[in-house]
């Protein structure tokens, strides 16, 4: 009997405590446990300050839990060195943020290609990958334009392409539509979901919108650092 593949991402009793001057310790997460199978999409909803961004930072290996374990495809991220966690983010994780984090002096295509350039990917394969992604999101004809000429929705599409350019196995998105109007936000999230699913990646995204959360395979709720996966 074959062993089942480990989940793309799993939290095992994860708590995160921050020390705040004057008010002592504050729990951002309390005993969070879940597992996301490979290829699934999960939306995390919750009020501001509920711990959503902390969860994504732990999943990306940007931070370490105070207690418990964060496992990426069975690997305990806290057991990795800082250098190893940097390589994990570079090679296995795509990050999409509420703010576009574009480099305004670069073209649209150069912004998308940047993670591959930093990682030393061969340009022979990188160029076609960039063009393919831009075509998929309707920006193929804007590849050589300065990125600052794009609208907010177009810049977020560029950010999605940049996150996916190296074919990450895990995509983490923190309020990816937060700076967009409702109609544009819906279009952008639908693109992100479509691309992640077509690429076979696992997607975990944070949103304040119940409507956008319903597009995921699963919707989980965070309240005061405690996760409800029911």
Say if residues 56 and 172 touch (Cβ distance below 8 Å).
yes
- Distance of alpha carbon 160 from alpha carbon 100, whole angstroms: 9
In a domain, 3, yes or no: no
In a domain, 220, yes or no: yes
**pLDDT cut 90: percent of the chain above it:** 61
* pLDDT tens digits along 149-189: 998 889 889 999 999 999 999 999 998 888 888 888 888 89
At residue 4 the predicted structure's pLDDT band, cuts being 50, 70 and 90, is confident
In a domain, 31, yes or no: yes
Say if residues 164 and 94 touch (Cβ distance below 8 Å).
yes
In a domain, 2, yes or no: no
pLDDT of residue 80: 94
Q: Considering its fold, how many domains does the chain have in total? A: 1
In a domain, 152, yes or no: yes
In a domain, 156, yes or no: yes
Which residue(s) pair with 218 in the sheet? 42
At residue 1 the predicted structure's pLDDT band, cuts being 50, 70 and 90, is very low
Q: What average pLDDT does the structure give for the chain?
A: 90
Name which of 17-21, 137-141, 162-166, 215-219 the model is least confident about. 17-21
Which range of residues forms the domain containing residue 172? Answer: 9-228
88 contact partners, CB below 8 Å, separation of at least 6: 61, 72, 75, 77, 80
In a domain, 1, yes or no: no
- Distance of alpha carbon 34 from alpha carbon 98, whole angstroms: 24
In a domain, 223, yes or no: yes
- Distance of alpha carbon 112 from alpha carbon 135, whole angstroms: 12
- Distance of alpha carbon 76 from alpha carbon 180, whole angstroms: 35
pTM of the entire structure?
0.90
At residue 2 the predicted structure's pLDDT band, cuts being 50, 70 and 90, is very low
Q: Is 15 left (phi over 0), alpha (psi -120 to 50) or beta?
A: beta
pLDDT of residue 26: 87
Please, what's the b/e burial string for 54-67 (b: 16 or more CB within 10 A of its CB; e: otherwise)? bbbbbbbbbbebee
pLDDT of residue 23: 66
Long-range Cβ contact pairs of 134-139 (< 8 A, separation 24 or more): 134/108, 134/109, 134/158, 134/161, 136/161, 136/191, 136/195, 137/161, 137/191, 137/195, 139/108
* pLDDT tens digits along 188-211: 899 899 988 888 899 999 998 889
- Report the CATH number at residue 153: 3.40.50.300
């Amino acid at each position: 009997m074959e062993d089942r593949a480990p989940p793309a991402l799993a939290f095992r009793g994860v708590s995160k405590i921050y020390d705040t001057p004057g008010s002592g310790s504050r729990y951002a997460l309390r005993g969070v446990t879940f597992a996301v199978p490979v290829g699934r999409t999960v939306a995390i909803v919750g009020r501001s300050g509920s711990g959503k961004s902390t969860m994504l930072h732990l999943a990306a290996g940007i931070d370490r839990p105070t207690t418990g374990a964060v496992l990426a495809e069975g690997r305990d991220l806290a057991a990795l060195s800082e250098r190893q966690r940097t390589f994990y983010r570079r090679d296995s994780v795509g990050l999409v943020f509420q703010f576009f984090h574009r480099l305004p002096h670069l073209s649209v295509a150069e912004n998308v290609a940047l993670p591959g350039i930093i990682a030393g990917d061969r340009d022979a394969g990188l160029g076609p990958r960039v063009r393919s992604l831009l075509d998929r999101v309707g920006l193929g004809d804007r590849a050589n334009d300065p990125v600052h000429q794009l609208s907010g929705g177009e810049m977020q599409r560029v950010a999605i392409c940049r996150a996916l350019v190296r074919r990450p196995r895990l995509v983490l998105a923190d309020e990816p539509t937060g700076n967009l109007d409702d109609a544009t936000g819906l279009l952008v999230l639908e693109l992100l979901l479509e691309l992640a699913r077509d690429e076979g990646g696992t997607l975990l995204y944070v949103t304040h919108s119940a409507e956008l959360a319903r597009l995921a395979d699963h919707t989980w709720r965070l309240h005061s650092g405690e996760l409800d996966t029911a």
